[in-house]
Amino acid sequence: MKKAITITFLSALLILSSTFVNTFKAEAAFNPQQVIAEAKKLIGTRYKFGGTTPKGFDCSGFVYYTHKKVGKILPRSSAQMYKKGKSVHKSKLLPGDLVFFSTYKKGASHVAIYIGKNQIIHATSNGVKIDSLNNPYWKSKFIGAKRI
C-alpha cells in the first residue's frame, strides 16, 4: 500500500513539474520577430469591429491573434493590454513592442506592433497595414509603449 501511494505521489509530482517546465519554455521561447512575421502575412486583411480572425480584425484582435499564433496569450482589449508589460520610452522601442494610442476615447483605445525603423503594423479602418510613427495622426495620438 505504501509503495502504491509513493508511486502515485511521484507520478503526480512528475506531471506537475513537467507543466511548470513547459510553461517556462513557452515563455522563454517567445520571439518578437515571429510575431512580426505573422503580422506581415496579414497585410491587407479587412477591418471588422470585434474581429479576431483573418476574416477581419480590429486593432486589439489583430495583436491578440498574431501573438496567440506564436504561443503568447494577451488580454483581448487595447486597454487591458496597456496594463501589461514594462513601459518603454518611445526612443527605446524594439521590434515587437506594443504601441498604444488614444483615438476615439480617453486612454488606450488603439494598439499596434512596433516593427522597427519607426514603423508600426496594425489593423485600421482601412485594414491591416504598416504606418509610420511620424504620421501626424498617430504621432498626436501616441500615449505609450509596452514590452511584453
CA quadruple 21, 23, 24, 30: dihedral sign: positive
Radius of gyration of the chain, Cα coordinates, nearest whole angstrom = 19
Active site residue 38: no
Catalytic residue, candidates 60, 110, 138, 146: 110
Active site residue 67: no
Question: Is the alpha carbon torsion for 85, 68, 96, 126 positive or negative?
Answer: negative
Mark out the alpha helices in 1-130 (DSSP H runs).
Answer: 2-28, 32-41, 59-69, 78-82
Look up residue 48 and give its three cell numbers.
471588422
Active-site option among 42, 59, 111, 120: 59
Q: Is 110 a catalytic residue?
A: yes
**Grid coordinates belonging to 118:** 519607426
- First vs last C-alpha separation in the chain: 48
State the catalytic residue, choosing from 67, 72, 122, 146: 122
Q: Are 136 and 90 in contact (CB under 8 A)?
A: no
Q: Could you tell me if 26 and 73 are in contact, meaning their C-beta atoms sit under 8 angstroms apart?
A: no
What residues act catalytically?
59, 110, 122
